[in-house]
Structure 1
Amino acid sequence: MKCVLIGVTGKMGSGKSLFSYHLKKKGIPVYSSDERCRILMNKMSLIKKKIIKFFGKNSYTKEKKINKFFLSKILFNNYDALKLLSSIIHPWIKIDFKKWMIAIVNSNIDKKRFYLIKESALLFESGSYKDCDMIINLSSPLKNKIERIIKRDNLNEIEIINRLKNQISNKMREKASDILVNNNCSRQYLEEKSHVIHEKIIKKIEKYGKRR
């Protein structure tokens, strides 16, 4: 069965993962680019070799796991380094996603699940938005984003602000998106919003009979 592809994006700390999680609970398949990125960096020898070549042996721990703290210091306020790392990883993410999507579409997918989710902070930067039938962009006040990222990644405020500056602005994201979600309320609000949007997507697909 063919499916519609929905992109879920937003700057780091905007609530993309939580929003996607609520859709996943409804049975919608979700591909998390950040999660798969970490897995590929830890498992793929070709990626490991290139990262070590350009960023040094300390890019990986003694346990041969990606050293997030070491890389963070290199990438901090260094757009060229960030761009280089993306050029190493994203071609493999593209292949990995395609394999995942084919496996989902070819499986005995529940007929009620009309669409797939690709969650990615770099949906526009990587060019992945071109493959999406619809894009949902999440935004959140800077203060809220900083609080979430500090709890999640243990970064300081200056590091967070500089990373956010390296991502496409909210204005550009919103202009290119079909659905906008302002995540400045409670977790319950985001769950309720995901339900409303889910129903809206299903109705739209049923109305136009759009299939991927």
Structure 2
Amino acid sequence: MAAYCVGVTGGVGSGKSEVTRRFEALGIRVADADLAAREVVAPGSAGLAEVVAAFGVEVLAADGTLDRSAMRKRVFSAPDARRQLESIVHPRVRAQLQAQCAAADGPYAIAAVPLLAEGGGRDRYPWLQRILVVDVPAELQRDRVMRRDGIDGGLADRMIASQASREQRLAIADDVIVNDGPLHQLDALVAALDRHYRALSAA
């Protein structure tokens, strides 16, 4: 059982997944909020039943799964609908991440939460002992998002603007990885933090 849990977050294109993969390679369990968000609205789940009760059967695909495209259109055109969906999904995701971290083997566990700053930070995740922010300079972030998704600068700017600002993320950070170099540089940075977290969890 891992009694020590570290939250990892960062903006789109920051390299969060590259960082968490390196923690996994060191034997650390990573609980992923994106995966949890899918699981809590899986067919047969109480989460999906509540979404259907709130938004109607038209948000279901033919196979009974949540039609994410239809749902996206609903929530992005109506802020109230987005808040309603988040009120159904987010508490379930937080509970699942906490349970997965608590059940993890090893000295500590990681909760990978892309929207940690947007989702209430420490107030909503009081069980996180530390928060690691994967940071990237704004221009490099924009370039990466454009290359990764094959999109133009305007759409990249809107994607970045829809998230918390760099300053808001850094304000909740205990630790920061500045991911502005070649990927292999992350190996040493993650290894140093792994040693630090192992020592903290043992203290």
TM-score by length of 1: 0.77
Kindly indicate whether the alpha-carbon contact (under 8 Å) linking 1:14 and 1:138 is maintained by their aligned counterparts in 2: yes
Q: Which segment drifts farther, 174-183 or 49-58?
A: 49-58
Give unpaired runs (5+ residues) of structure 1: none
Tell me how far 1:54 sits from its aligned partner. Answer: 3.7
Could you tell me which of 86, 97, 116 is aligned with 1:123?
116
1: CA distance between counterparts of 2:54 and 2:195?
Answer: 46
Answering whether residue 95 of structure 2 is matched by residue 99 of structure 1, we say: no
Aligned position for 1:190: 186
Answering whether residue 135 of structure 2 is matched by residue 136 of structure 1, we say: no
Spell out the pairing of 1:66-81 with structure 2 (5 A cutoff).
66-76=66-76, 78-81=78-81
SS of residue matched to 1:41: coil
One-letter amino acid matched to 2:177? V
Spell out the pairing of 1:154-165 with structure 2 (5 A cutoff).
161-165=157-161
Q: Which segment drifts farther, 68-77 or 80-89?
A: 68-77
Answering whether residue 28 of structure 2 is matched by residue 35 of structure 1, we say: no
Kindly indicate whether the alpha-carbon contact (under 8 Å) linking 2:146 and 2:152 is maintained by their aligned counterparts in 1: no
Q: Which segment drifts farther, 20-29 or 75-84?
A: 75-84
Aligned residues: 197
Tell me how far 1:16 sits from its aligned partner. Answer: 1.6
Aligned position for 2:170: 174
One-letter amino acid matched to 1:130? P
Kindly indicate whether the alpha-carbon contact (under 8 Å) linking 1:31 and 1:118 is maintained by their aligned counterparts in 2: yes
TM-score by length of 2: 0.80
Give unpaired runs (5+ residues) of structure 2: none
- Distance of aligned partners of 1:64 and 1:132 in 2 relative to their CA distance in 1, 3 Å threshold: same
Aligned position for 1:84: 84
Kindly indicate whether the alpha-carbon contact (under 8 Å) linking 1:138 and 1:183 is maintained by their aligned counterparts in 2: yes
2: CA distance between counterparts of 1:121 and 1:175?
Answer: 15
Cα deviation, 1:138-195, whole Å, max 9, x if unaligned, reads: 12333245236626xxx77655543433322211210220111222223222333222
Tell me how far 1:134 sits from its aligned partner. Answer: 0.8
- Distance of aligned partners of 1:194 and 1:102 in 2 relative to their CA distance in 1, 3 Å threshold: closer
SS of residue matched to 1:43: coil
SS of residue matched to 2:36: helix
- Distance of aligned partners of 1:149 and 1:56 in 2 relative to their CA distance in 1, 3 Å threshold: farther
SS of residue matched to 2:164: coil
SS of residue matched to 1:18: helix
One-letter amino acid matched to 1:122? L
One-letter amino acid matched to 2:59? S
Percent identity, please: 21
Tell me how far 1:35 sits from its aligned partner. Answer: 0.8
Cα deviation, 1:123-150, whole Å, max 9, x if unaligned, reads: 2324444221111011233324523662
1: CA distance between counterparts of 2:130 and 2:2?
Answer: 15
2: CA distance between counterparts of 1:102 and 1:116?
Answer: 8
Cα deviation, 1:11-54, whole Å, max 9, x if unaligned, reads: 23322222111101111111001111112212343222332344
Kindly indicate whether the alpha-carbon contact (under 8 Å) linking 2:9 and 2:116 is maintained by their aligned counterparts in 1: yes
